[in-house]
Amino acid sequence: MYTHYQGPRGEVTSKGHYSQLQATGADLPQSNDNRELATKFADYFDNKIEHIMKELDNTNVSSANNSSETCVTSINSFRPTTEDEVKNIIKSMPNKTCSLDAFPTWVALQYADLLSPALTHLINCSLESGEMSILLREL
């Protein structure tokens, strides 16, 4: 399993991929003149892209599309949820909130006992009807 972390340019990557990038770092162009370095980098990445495109052209994609197995899963019925299930889910949420959240997590955690009956009713109505209010999707 890879450990994900932030790379030197802020990109999120896995340890395995980052070590591959470091291993190929010796191939990167170098120069003391900024203009020459920019030109070398442009050429370097043009060549990389050409190389990748040639490899993709040579890849046999037809074998991936010849899957004879089709997996179809359907859920035809739901059992109603209970207030205890909803309350346990609320209480298991990490106490993290973003300024973009319409409903702060700390409020849900603090008032789980009061919120769970109403949320249980909303969830069960949604499961029964097969519909969910647009307003609830944004929460």
For the stretch 101-129, pLDDT in tens is 878 899 999 999 999 999 999 999 888 88
Residues 51 and 87 in one domain: no
Q: Give a yes or no: residue 78 inside a domain.
A: no
- Residue 2: per-residue pLDDT: 43
Distance CA 128, CA 120 (A): 12
Q: Which residue has the higher pLDDT, 26 or 100?
A: 100
**DSSP label at 32?**
S
- Is 92 in the same domain as 56? no
Q: Tell me: do 95 and 131 sit in the same domain.
A: yes
Q: Are residues 60 and 94 in the same domain?
A: no
The pLDDT value recorded for residue 60 is: 65
Angstrom distance (rounded) from CA 46 to CA 129: 55
Helices (H), 27-103: 34-58, 62-65, 83-92
For residues 88 and 60, membership in a common domain is answered with no
How many domains does the chain divide into? Answer: 2
Question: According to the per-residue pLDDT averaged within each range, which of 15-19, 77-81, 133-137 is highest?
Answer: 77-81
- Does residue 14 lie within any of the structural domains? yes
Given this model, what pLDDT does residue 138 score?
63
Q: For residue 27, give its domain range.
A: 4-64
User: 80 pLDDT band (50/70/90 cuts)?
Assistant: very high
In a domain? residue 70: no
pLDDT surpassing 50 at residue 29: yes
Note whether residue 26 is domain-resident. Answer: yes
